[in-house]
A and B are shown apart, each in its own frame.
Chain A
Amino acid sequence: MNLFGQVRNFNEIPKDVLVHLDKMGTDSTPLLDSCESAYFNVIFKDNLDGFDFTNKKIGFLSAGSKRNKKEYFTEERKRFSDNSTTINSTLYVFNASQKKESGGYDAAIVYWSKFSIPMDKVVTKLKK
């Protein structure tokens, strides 16, 4: 399931979530901690369709390359301090077989992508 639509304005993120931005992405492991999952639950709130980021393993892709949450949040913090918008991202939620094939990811966040990437390509890129 490919879900576009996200919060782009930092002012729309509740303060009790945003206040932890400095603690997010301190490592590059795919497993989200409670602050990170709360943040993404807000960012994609209008398109979660039942998905919850809590304790989920998330893959990151940008400009065709595999990234990690450390890189994502480093950029997100800079954009926050620059009074810019949140990163332009799309959420891909995997089913059981896609999760297995991707290497155990529950979902992927594809950011700064000008083109919509087919789900199978997202899975393949994360697998590499």
Chain B
Amino acid sequence: MLGGAAIGGASGYMGASIALEGGFMANSMGIMMSSSMNSVGMTILSEGDIMPSISFGFGSLNYAGEFGYLGKKGNSALENIGYSFGALANLSDAVSLFSGGGQNVDVNSASTKNGHDWWGHSSMTDENGNTLVSVGPDSPVGKSTSLSQTWKNSIKGADVNWNSYVGDKGTWTIRLNNVSTSAINNYASGMTRWDLLFNSCVGHTTRALMRAGVPTIYAFHPHMLNLQLFIRQMGIYSSPYLYQIP
């Protein structure tokens, strides 16, 4: 058991290092490295009971030439979950490959504690802290006793230079690997409107990510977006192991 944990830890470290380095198909390469290292190690440890294999993300190939993939008949739930997260890694890699500008990006959710506004703020920055997406209203929204009036008041021009809160105390940052900044910049160049629903800070961040091949469910609050991205990252890092669990 200790040997398995050591193999898993070492292969996970190698895979994460490759993904964090960025570059050509970084997420998928990380999965391939992790899965092959882990399975070879486990094959040795199990004295051949476990078949060596390599995952490509959405699918895998073992040394007997069997191809496993997402949705294949007979897959366990864990296999499908592993392949699903692997497919998410493939998707952002593919968009980076075709749209260009693949870089590690940070998705930031501003603090909502210690007296800060509960609605927070969502932004996206590059590795150097430069803003990719950070949108607020061009003038403050007047609250009204009626929800519909507050909604009408909220329709504003977009201030695309809003504070990103990156590096600020309490800001929750999730790093995503090899995401197309060209696709993000392309989206950001068309941001002109701000409102409380789909064109809020988190609405714009969500759509920019979607454009870059990082799909999420629009959930209105920046923390909810970061929670989804946290689960996505954990899933991608786990995908080289999940499909191998018998």
Which of A5, A66, A85 has the largest count of B CB atoms less than 10 A from its CB? A85
The chain A residues found within 8 Å of chain B, CB to CB, are 4-5, 8, 63-66, 75, 79, 82, 84-85, 87-88, 90, 110, 112-117
Interface residue SS majority, chain A? loop
Report B-chain residues with C-beta under 8 Å of the C-beta of A117. 140
Report A-chain residues with C-beta under 8 Å of the C-beta of B110. 63
**Chain B residue nearest to A5 in the complex (CB):** B139
Determine whether the beta carbon of A85 is less than 8 Å from that of B142: no
CA distance A5 to B139 in the complex (A): 8
Q: Which of B111-148 contact A (CB under 8 A)?
A: 111, 114-117, 119, 121, 130-131, 136-143
Report A-chain residues with C-beta under 8 Å of the C-beta of B114. 65
Q: Which of B132-187 contact A (CB under 8 A)?
A: 136-143, 159, 161-163
Choose from A64, A66, A116 the contact partner of B141 (Cβ within 8 Å). A116
Determine whether the beta carbon of A63 is less than 8 Å from that of B140: no
Determine whether the beta carbon of A64 is less than 8 Å from that of B162: no
Determine whether the beta carbon of A88 is less than 8 Å from that of B162: yes
Which 7 pairs from chain A and chain B are nearest by CB? Answer: A116-B140, A64-B117, A85-B161, A65-B115, A116-B142, A63-B116, A112-B163
Given contacts A63-B116, A64-B115, A65-B115, whether A114 and B137 have CB atoms under 8 Å apart is yes
Determine whether the beta carbon of B141 is less than 8 Å from that of A115: yes
Interface residue SS majority, chain B? loop
What are 5 pairs between A and B in contact, CB < 8 Å? A63-B116, A88-B161, A113-B140, A114-B119, A117-B140
Would you give the shortest CB distance from B133 to chain A, in whole angstroms? 14
Determine whether the beta carbon of A112 is less than 8 Å from that of B143: no
CA distance A112 to B134 in the complex (A): 12
Given contacts A85-B161, A88-B162, whether A115 and B115 have CB atoms under 8 Å apart is no
CA distance A111 to B130 in the complex (A): 20
CA distance A88 to B160 in the complex (A): 11
Given contacts A65-B116, A114-B119, whether A90 and B140 have CB atoms under 8 Å apart is yes
Given contacts A64-B115, A65-B115, whether A115 and B162 have CB atoms under 8 Å apart is no
CA distance A64 to B116 in the complex (A): 5
CA distance A5 to B140 in the complex (A): 10
Would you give the shortest CB distance from A51 to chain B, in whole angstroms? 19
Would you give the shortest CB distance from B132 to chain A, in whole angstroms? 13
**Chain A residue nearest to B114 in the complex (CB):** A65
CA distance A26 to B130 in the complex (A): 25
**Chain A residue nearest to B111 in the complex (CB):** A63
Determine whether the beta carbon of A116 is less than 8 Å from that of B143: yes
Determine whether the beta carbon of B119 is less than 8 Å from that of A75: no
Determine whether the beta carbon of A114 is less than 8 Å from that of B140: yes
**Chain B residue nearest to A111 in the complex (CB):** B163
CA distance A48 to B20 in the complex (A): 50
Choose from A64, A82, A112 the contact partner of B136 (Cβ within 8 Å). A112
Would you give the shortest CB distance from A84 to chain B, in whole angstroms? 5
With A64-B116, A84-B131, A115-B117 known, 5 other A-B pairs at CB within 8 A are: A63-B111, A90-B140, A112-B136, A112-B163, A114-B117
CA distance A116 to B142 in the complex (A): 5
Choose from A5, A90, A110, A112 the contact partner of B162 (Cβ within 8 Å). A112
Determine whether the beta carbon of B140 is less than 8 Å from that of A115: yes
CA distance A115 to B201 in the complex (A): 13
Would you give the shortest CB distance from A67 to chain B, in whole angstroms? 11
Determine whether the beta carbon of A63 is less than 8 Å from that of B161: no
